[in-house]
Structure 1
């Protein structure tokens, strides 16, 4: 029995450090309206959807605080940007996955949540995920505002929720009594680590939702060769982005929706695009055509996940867990000894 679903990646163009949140919100509302007009059921938004990617800047404590969504933010006032966004999506009947910086009494983390529409005034969080693999450094490479720092280790802690898949019952309305879709979430750098993908694959994931802010040029972060040009760096970043997404979608037999924050922030910091919808065979079904706000839409059939899960990547039949102990028992590289 087919299990059709119309999904979308909501790519968001450049956002400067001083861009007003009201301006950002109006752009996001427009993307939601476009999705509803095209009968989309699930929309995936980027990492740090409501602000610029502030970990590239070395910020003071007072300034830094304005970029986090605080614990209990959804119960806040009517002018709360995230609350307004989620309520608008709920009124349109859209399931949305959206990323933001979260601050609670216990942790500051990069978070994604899937909000599902309901009859309640405030759409509930169906599931949440916190970024696990934080790149970069604690200390800035330089305090020069033109330096592309990566200070996630300074501003956040690694996620503490693991890689927990979940069902999205609101997405199966068109094909009862079939089971609800199984959904997973990753954030940016997490997509480069196969361990998270496999954890989701072992739960039968059918839709992976990934938002990111990936720089096109960061020689201090990469330790790049001085001969590497900006154009070559951009091409490499895009190649690696597509490589890990397409390969891991294939090896875990899952659809994947990726959503970029892209463009040229503050007329200096360039972020790649690469927003796309990928099939369980690793093929790109739809992708962005611009480096600005854009909705990328595709019709998928979740039953296309079944052949890979039943044959080539039938984990129960083919995995040999007795051979994989090193993966969870060892953190860093331990090289084999030299022969005498």
Structure 2
């Protein structure tokens, strides 16, 4: 089956209402260009690195502004709308970095919580401890849609290939990694990671990204991307600013790529041995 998919590139600020308006405008633009599946970036609802400021604007899933707006928009436009993620308040005081998928009737048909927490110290002095604020997810997810099977991931998840291999083995034809990649890590690794996940799984990768300098001072890399199962970049956004990245997805390309290089079928279980140190006086090479 062939259909148009879109990745929405945003520069979300600290005000959820303004971010809702931006999402609505960009999704409408994507649909006007023919997209029936539209994905938004990680943290569509707000990018706010100040914990107190973030907690002040958080809502639970039932009252979240992005969730409500996305449901209404999917129903109005008759599309599958994938909110790459937004921050959701949990009963225990922590936060879920949660993706949502809505069907053309506006029903929530899937949600996914980011599994891998971005706990890193970068060379430029940036330090991130997502696990201090967010509760990690515990399950992978594949959604069986009318046009394709879609596997879920969020941002830092892209560095854990076994997650996407598990989803591909379960039949996923499209892998998703909506993100808010830092500029430093994006410049170094973003394209390579997306193309690698596509190639090794013989799957499309769709990644809507945050882009530019945000109100809270954070800078994200952008370059929203749609990659085909052979690792070719079909469409790409810029380094900064909003955009709609759109491409034709032909799911027959998944079977073709997996037929040429059937590594999903050829994988084997194996044992890991740790070789002991060579004895003194032994052979050296």
| TM-score, normalised by the number of residues in structure 2 | 0.88
Q: Deviations over 1:73-101 (max 9, x none)?
A: 36xxxxx3430232023201121111111
Q: 1:30 to 1:150 in 2, by over 3 A?
A: same
Asked if residue 319 in structure 1 is aligned to residue 278 in structure 2, the reply is no
Between the aligned partners of 1:155 and 1:335, the Cα distance in structure 2 is 37
Q: 1:156 to 1:335 in 2, by over 3 A?
A: farther
Map residues 71-90 of structure 1 onto 2, 5 A cutoff. Answer: 71-73=61-63, 80-90=65-75
| Counterpart residue number, 1:165 | 142
What SS does structure 2 have at the residue aligned with 1:150?
strand
Q: Which runs of 5+ in 1 are unaligned?
A: 75-79, 142-146, 173-180, 217-233, 327-333
Q: Deviations over 1:231-253 (max 9, x none)?
A: xxx4x633411111101111101
Map residues 116-195 of structure 1 onto 2, 5 A cutoff. Answer: 116-118=103-105, 123-136=106-119, 148-160=126-138, 162-169=139-146, 172=147, 181-195=148-162
Q: 1:157 to 1:296 in 2, by over 3 A?
A: same
Asked if residue 288 in structure 1 is aligned to residue 237 in structure 2, the reply is yes
Between the aligned partners of 1:244 and 1:279, the Cα distance in structure 2 is 13
| TM-score, normalised by the number of residues in structure 1 | 0.75
* 1:311 CA drift (Å): 3.7
Match of 1:49 among 41, 44, 52: 44
Between the aligned partners of 1:25 and 1:72, the Cα distance in structure 2 is 16
What SS does structure 2 have at the residue aligned with 1:47?
coil
Query: 284-293 or 65-74, which moves further after superposition?
Result: 65-74
Between the aligned partners of 1:290 and 1:158, the Cα distance in structure 2 is 29
Between the aligned partners of 1:305 and 1:47, the Cα distance in structure 2 is 25
Whether contact under 8 Å (1:67, 1:101) holds in the other structure is no
Whether contact under 8 Å (2:201, 2:264) holds in the other structure is no
| Counterpart residue number, 2:97 | 110
Match of 1:92 among 77, 83, 87: 77
Whether contact under 8 Å (1:308, 1:314) holds in the other structure is no
| Counterpart residue number, 1:202 | 169
